[in-house]
Amino acid sequence: MKKTFLLVALVIFSLVGKVHADEGMWLPMFVERLNYVDMEKMGLQLTPEELYSINNSSLKDAIVGLSNGDRPRGFFCTGEIVSQNSLMFTNHHCGYGSIQKLSTVEHDYLTDGFWAKDFSEELPAEGISASFLVRMEDVTEQVFSVLNDTMTWAERNAAIAAKSAELEAAASEDGKYNPIIKGFFEGNEYYMFVYQVYTDVRLVGTPPSSIGKFGGDTDNWMWPRHTGDFSIFRVYADAEGNPAAYSPENKPLTPKHHLPVSLDGVQQDDFTMIWGFPGTTNRYLTSYGVDYNVETFYPIIHDIFKLQTDIMDEFMQKDASVNIMYADDKAGLANTWKNFEGQMLMLRKNKVAERKAELEAQFTEWVNADPARVEEYGNVLNTLAENYNTLSELSASVYFPNFVSQTGAIAISAEFAQYVAAAQSKDKEAVAAAEEALKAIDVDAFFAETYKPLEDKMLVEMLKLYYNTFNAEVNPDFYNLVEKQYKGDVVALANAILEKSIFATAESINAFIAKPNAKKVEKDAAYVVFNAMVNHMVSGLAPFRAANQVIAENNHMFVKGLREFYAETQPEKSLYPDANSSLRMTYGSVKDYQPADAVSYDYICTANGILEKYVPGDYEFDVPQRLLDLIEAKDFGQYANEDGELIVCFLSTNDITGGNSGSPIMNSRGELIGLAFDGNWEAMSGDINFEPRLQRTINVDARYVLFVIDKFAGATNLIEELTIVKSEPTVEE
């Protein structure tokens, strides 16, 4: 183990060399050692202690991880505290689920927006929690102390999990804190993050979706962008400032730090930094992993999710209640399929697999130059190639039946499998217990927040997709069912489920529970299809999981070897860990870009673009008349730039990914200048390979946010709560 720690230290020491601005999601605890000199040269005016401190108020204390539930196991978005009363800005799409849950046809906050005039009007956003990082620390040595060279990969992971749980329990201080230990560099380092998690979070304000989601899926990841992607929440605590469940007696949390909001705007090459909780990147993925994603995994998920969102769209546009009901689900699915569509295109166009292969060739040459390295790393890449081939062969047979079996009556029928198994055992006590368990099923929950015409069409189209994807050899149970019982007509099978299945309606399910009969379940078309799906999926699941485990183990070894390779051959090379939903800092600058020959994009876009894109009545490009009037009159107040224009969004070179949505983008003084909310289409390959020439973060300008709050919504109470700053104009001599 001593050799491992020496190598880790060597790599960390090598990072003090040349640091590439823009690329990299850096751990804040290393800012002084790794990044500060570079950031200072680029224009940063804060000290390392003002950026990250355990003992004193620092910028990190204004950054909030947003998650579902009271455990900080993964953050779906980031927020930032912007007032002494813990007013929190994040993206509109981050608050979308909460806004949807609070909306009704009578109070449709998605369509109309919402603005609380005082604390009493703020609405509990159930399910959202706000996590503040107290500290982070390196626990690699403690975690590795329980490992030895004789362990299998599974034994190693079990030992790490047990030791991590022990360390987390000790750091929790009897439940005061929520610690979590995460692996970095594919399990070659481990760090503990200690959080305080606040679960009383309330909706304060949101623009209508026609502003907060302007451009919809069409504009997603596109530049220029004219989306006012923000929403406003507040974090509450008990009288002592501690986390507490929702109570009318709770008070707004007094934060350790909040961000001032700047009216200065941005200029080309201005220094920028973004702090937040990026979810997942795969910068150390091999060429084999890239090929698997592009050729197999992404197409499968893309096709399934695109089909589902198209069906949702068809019904959502016709009925306001259906739109509210499915808004959050549809947004998540649409975001994923378009992301994968962009990655498939740009990973090929930017030749990422080829560039990865070049690195792997250099790594292999380095390995082959030393017998000890050959023994340790010689088979890693070949093993990865073999197991990605296995995944490619099995993935369709795992993912398609998995998703189809989650559809409508098919999914509901699965809840009755245990009852059928008990009946088949002919154990009277087991059957009695199973029948009693049926009575506890919440049947209404199966149909809550669902719209039957939409769900019916979803089942028909999903079964059609499934049937057309596999032949009899690959999927004999389902294929033969359709061919023999329904004469090759998969729609007839779907209709049989919708019209005759026990599991198609709440009434028929309740009637069955009142008088259960296992034989009826076994013959039910939905249950028969469910079993066919399970048989299809199970046939490949064991080797699929085994291949994934082998890939994980060899990725660990590849990254371990790659760090040694860089430390020896390119000591100036900057290495940083992949994103894993832990607090990261990125820094860069405001910058335009040229995506193609004879095409040049400015680094800002203005409200004039809203007028240009506006389509009356269109569900993506319609906007409120009041916004149109304000833009046409150029009634922007103090939020206009020096030319009298209102900047809506701007570009920066910061390195972000999913989870960074809602992150603050700040200037050299740590003042909020905008909210990060997207990447750009031409660099959709960036999660796997950073593209410095093309990669940009799209940010909504803080001045547009304030303009919407103030001039559009008239929520001056929120403007008065903020710390708004503006630099004095420079006097020319």
Residue 474: pLDDT band by 50, 70, 90 thresholds? confident
Among residues 533, 439, 442, 546, the alpha carbon closest in space to that of 481 is found at 533
| C-alpha to C-alpha distance for 397 and 390, rounded to whole angstroms | 12
6: pLDDT strictly greater than 50: no
| C-alpha to C-alpha distance for 256 and 112, rounded to whole angstroms | 34
Residue 114: pLDDT band by 50, 70, 90 thresholds? very high
What is the predicted pLDDT for the residue at 560? 98
Q: Quick check: 637 and 683 in contact, CB under 8 A?
A: no
690: pLDDT strictly greater than 70: yes
Q: What is the mean pLDDT of residues 711-720?
A: 98
Residue 473: pLDDT band by 50, 70, 90 thresholds? confident
pTM of the predicted model, to two decimals? 0.92
Q: Can you give the length of the chain in residues?
A: 733
| C-alpha to C-alpha distance for 640 and 626, rounded to whole angstroms | 17
| C-alpha to C-alpha distance for 402 and 393, rounded to whole angstroms | 16
Q: Side chain identity at 119, as an amino acid letter?
A: F
- Phi, psi for residue 333 in degrees, rounded to 5: -65, -45
Tell me the helix, strand and coil percentages in the chain, rounded to 5.
50, 15, 35
Coil, strand or helix at 230: coil
Selected residue with higher pLDDT from 6 and 581? 581
The rounded Cα 8 to chain-centroid distance in angstroms is: 29
Q: What is the mean pLDDT of residues 135-162?
A: 97
**Tens-digit pLDDT profile for residues 639-673:** 999 999 999 999 999 999 999 999 999 999 999 99
56: pLDDT strictly greater than 80: yes
Which residue is listed with tokens 């154990």? 427
**Tens-digit pLDDT profile for residues 309-321:** 999 999 999 999 9
Which residues participate in catalysis according to the annotation? 93, 229, 661
| C-alpha to C-alpha distance for 202 and 199, rounded to whole angstroms | 9
| C-alpha to C-alpha distance for 638 and 636, rounded to whole angstroms | 6
Q: What is the mean pLDDT of residues 353-364?
A: 98
Q: From the CA atom positions of the chain, what is the Rg in Å?
A: 27
Q: What is the mean pLDDT of residues 136-159?
A: 96
**Tens-digit pLDDT profile for residues 277-304:** 999 999 999 999 999 999 999 999 999 9
| C-alpha to C-alpha distance for 528 and 442, rounded to whole angstroms | 23
21: pLDDT strictly greater than 60: no
Q: Determine the angle formed by the axes of helices 490-500 and 476-485, rounding to 10 degrees.
A: 80
| C-alpha to C-alpha distance for 255 and 244, rounded to whole angstroms | 15
Task: Tell me what the pLDDT averaged over the chain comes to.
Answer: 94
7: pLDDT strictly greater than 60: no
Q: Quick check: 519 and 495 in contact, CB under 8 A?
A: no
Q: What is the mean pLDDT of residues 107-126?
A: 97
What is the predicted pLDDT for the residue at 34? 86
Q: Quick check: 415 and 441 in contact, CB under 8 A?
A: yes
Residue 547: pLDDT band by 50, 70, 90 thresholds? very high
Among residues 273, 285, 183, the alpha carbon closest in space to that of 685 is found at 285
Among residues 189, 73, 103, the alpha carbon closest in space to that of 142 is found at 189
Among residues 73, 76, 130, the alpha carbon closest in space to that of 244 is found at 130
Q: Determine the angle formed by the axes of helices 452-469 and 298-316, rounding to 10 degrees.
A: 150
| C-alpha to C-alpha distance for 728 and 313, rounded to whole angstroms | 49
| C-alpha to C-alpha distance for 457 and 461, rounded to whole angstroms | 6
H-run or E-run covering 134: strand 128-138
Query: ω into residue 72 within 30 of 0, thus cis?
Result: no
Among residues 655, 657, 652, the alpha carbon closest in space to that of 581 is found at 657
- Phi, psi for residue 693 in degrees, rounded to 5: -75, -30
What is the predicted pLDDT for the residue at 732? 53
| C-alpha to C-alpha distance for 549 and 542, rounded to whole angstroms | 11
733: pLDDT strictly greater than 60: no
CATH of 587-725, one of 2.40.10, 2.60.40, 1.20.120, 1.10.3470: 2.40.10
Domain spans, the chain: 2-214+236-256+278-282, 287-552, 587-725
588: pLDDT strictly greater than 50: yes
Q: Side chain identity at 724, as an amino acid letter?
A: I
| C-alpha to C-alpha distance for 645 and 606, rounded to whole angstroms | 7
The rounded Cα 212 to chain-centroid distance in angstroms is: 18
Which residue is listed with tokens 């599974």? 154
Percent of the chain with pLDDT over 90: 92
Q: Quick check: 130 and 195 in contact, CB under 8 A?
A: no
What is the predicted pLDDT for the residue at 674? 98
What is the predicted pLDDT for the residue at 662? 98
